[in-house]
Structure 1
């Protein structure tokens, strides 16, 4: 009998453990699988042989349910880019040797765009080297919602629910004073503004916030931004702005680049921060009213206490589907969500060749952004609405939520 290996990679989310749960459930229940292993810290953990058996740890439904409500990556994560195997085959040979040692026939990698790069490279290496007894599948994860070929990504719905909730609560706080004030809230999103756009859901119960929404798909003009803020201040005393961390000017430069030189991560992405702080100073100098900036930061991806039940349900199904598809002998693909209808909301799970996904970015359709570039359209609201529905029961002890912890591999 063969064994199944699962690992997590990239930025954590409130739903990535639900996908892990789905993979484990399928592995434990399938008669063709002997053991289910987890690699700690993604592909780095495989290279370092940080492998842990999960059968006994997660054999009961209570543990699996607790895992589903636990934020972040229970197996740990990494941001490691495999070298092209044509240049150096060492990493690939090491990975295959570890697979052989643990009798791994199926490997499921849960992650975002950069993780799918790893899936593509490994699957291609196996195919070209006639390694036909190891199946490699991708299971999507990213709060940025920027993976191609899937209607939306696991983790995005919960992050969107948190952002919508937070904006509605920020509005309650900001509206208590009579003095003019501007609050600028920075939302994650380097090259795609899906998360920032989700702030619009803060209005669905009758609220007005955010008053202005700036996503990174359209060029950002500081002068136009100041005009927009002045216009809103003429209408109301408290103005709340949502802004993507990755907004760029007409030359394609991040507006924060004038603040300091930015370093890059292992995949060559610029490390961003400071868009809201930059705009705070602009408003203070040019308008002169009370102004503050807020960076939601890590809370967007770890707020499991306000997770979307729809998101957790779909994430778990995707994990099961990815594992099931690999066990049938498929490889080099990613499980995806295909939306059948919005009203009522219906979906199905499909599978797409990893080459169509890896190293590509899905951005917001431009016709879902208003002409002025300071808001989103009704089409965006209708797309987002089903993804934040439902609340999960949360197990508490001593007044705070309980989380599942996987021990470190020896």
Structure 2
């Protein structure tokens, strides 16, 4: 490697997004990069020439290990949609002026669907204008909805947190309901894909029955059928626990959250902010059945609980970060690193690389055959797919009883 590397993070963070950053940094240094720059707040920050020399913050192997276990985005992220090239070439001219000034050879972007759109547009512009930089994407999303990769870094740790917390919520409900009926509704992230919500089923085992019902956004949600199902369950048990995706929709296409007091906020990619699904359904059950209800939102804890990260996830996130640098250094551009599952028993995976044009702006849904016929649970095939991804622990470096994170101060 003769030039420098620049890396950015984009979109919603995960518990292991910084493990990918550590993988990029370590591999770039090992392959001879003179400098490894970090964009502050992704491509949006780069446009304002906000970047740092990562060697000022990652000074030792211990720093690398702490970074791997630091949640949220160390560099800061953005949700910034680059315009199409024909709409505004000035932005692209500015970006490439900055990249050329920094002698950037490899541009690495860690993110999900929208971030791969950025890689696609920048690599296309480089080809059109004869620029030499290579652009490679590193997959990241707890939603697990990126096409062509078996799964995405971030998903395994989020699934582990969801399964663990669901089990604890169930235990709490059972222990606090003597002769009282209660319905607990857990709201889990997932706009269009139900990978996260389905992970609640992993809480089921010898010591826990798991949630009674699971509803994914892949199927239309019927409020009347839902209420009838809960009423029937309450005839047999005192505590009913339901896991719902925040993105479940009714027949007319509206999100259930919109039926309550949903936010009007829409991000740069046109995504509505979803919240309040569990609260709305809890109110419906209380009104129609009259029992005690509780709405639980795991919210940002799903993506930030690094103390409960899966070791498999941490290691794979580091691996794909390194693979992206290797691919770019060897001439690939307009590509994204993917994870290919080689074996289920024992679980083994390897990295591959695919054209980002086939990935950007697509979504991988939970297969219909992995959802039960009545649409109220996931199948064993779903559970078998997820279970290997939550294995192992990745203990934090503890200081005074609290996890130590790598922190650069005010950005």
Separation of aligned partners in 1, 2:167 and 2:274: 25
Partner of 2:55, secondary structure, is: coil
Aligned to 2:84: 84
Aligned with residue 279 of structure 1, among 281, 287, 304: 281
Separation of aligned partners in 1, 2:236 and 2:40: 53
Aligned to 2:352: 350
| 1:279 positional shift | 0.1
Partner of 2:235, secondary structure, is: helix
Separation of aligned partners in 2, 1:14 and 1:204: 25
Q: 1:205 to 1:155 in 2, by over 3 A?
A: farther
* TM alignment of 1:392-403, pairs within 5 A: 392-403=394-405
Aligned to 1:46: 46
Separation of aligned partners in 1, 2:158 and 2:196: 7
- Indicate if the aligned counterparts of 1:201 and 1:385 stay in contact, CA closer than 8 A: yes
Aligned to 1:106: 106
Partner of 1:34, secondary structure, is: coil
5+ long unaligned stretches in structure 2: none
User: Which range moved further: 257-266 or 5-14?
Assistant: 257-266
Aligned to 1:208: 209
How many residues matched? 407
Aligned to 1:63: 63
Cα deviation digits, residues 32-82 of structure 1 (max 9, x gap): x21111111000111011111112422411000000110000001111001
- Indicate if the aligned counterparts of 1:197 and 1:215 stay in contact, CA closer than 8 A: yes
- Indicate if the aligned counterparts of 1:142 and 1:155 stay in contact, CA closer than 8 A: yes
Aligned with residue 328 of structure 1, among 322, 327, 330: 330
| 1:271 positional shift | 1.4
Aligned to 2:155: 156
* TM alignment of 1:68-147, pairs within 5 A: 68-131=68-131, 133-147=132-146
Aligned to 2:309: 307
Aligned to 2:246: 245
Separation of aligned partners in 2, 1:116 and 1:266: 15
| 1:324 positional shift | 0.7
Separation of aligned partners in 1, 2:57 and 2:227: 55
| 1:205 positional shift | 4.4
Partner of 1:110, secondary structure, is: strand
Aligned with residue 266 of structure 2, among 264, 267, 271: 264
Separation of aligned partners in 2, 1:29 and 1:363: 37
Aligned to 1:193: 194
User: Which range moved further: 247-256 or 386-395?
Assistant: 247-256
Aligned to 1:184: 185
1:236 aligns to 2:237 (yes or no): yes
5+ long unaligned stretches in structure 1: none
Separation of aligned partners in 1, 2:329 and 2:198: 38
User: Which range moved further: 106-115 or 248-257?
Assistant: 248-257
User: Which range moved further: 139-148 or 199-208?
Assistant: 199-208
- Indicate if the aligned counterparts of 1:140 and 1:336 stay in contact, CA closer than 8 A: yes
Separation of aligned partners in 1, 2:195 and 2:388: 15
Separation of aligned partners in 1, 2:386 and 2:360: 24
| 1:235 positional shift | 1.8
Partner of 1:136, secondary structure, is: strand
TM-score by length of 2: 0.97
Partner of 1:4, secondary structure, is: strand
Separation of aligned partners in 2, 1:258 and 1:36: 48
1:382 aligns to 2:384 (yes or no): yes
- Indicate if the aligned counterparts of 2:261 and 2:276 stay in contact, CA closer than 8 A: no
* TM alignment of 1:218-237, pairs within 5 A: 218-237=219-238
Partner of 1:11, secondary structure, is: coil
Aligned to 1:26: 27
Separation of aligned partners in 2, 1:270 and 1:339: 33
Partner of 1:235, secondary structure, is: coil
- Indicate if the aligned counterparts of 1:28 and 1:59 stay in contact, CA closer than 8 A: no
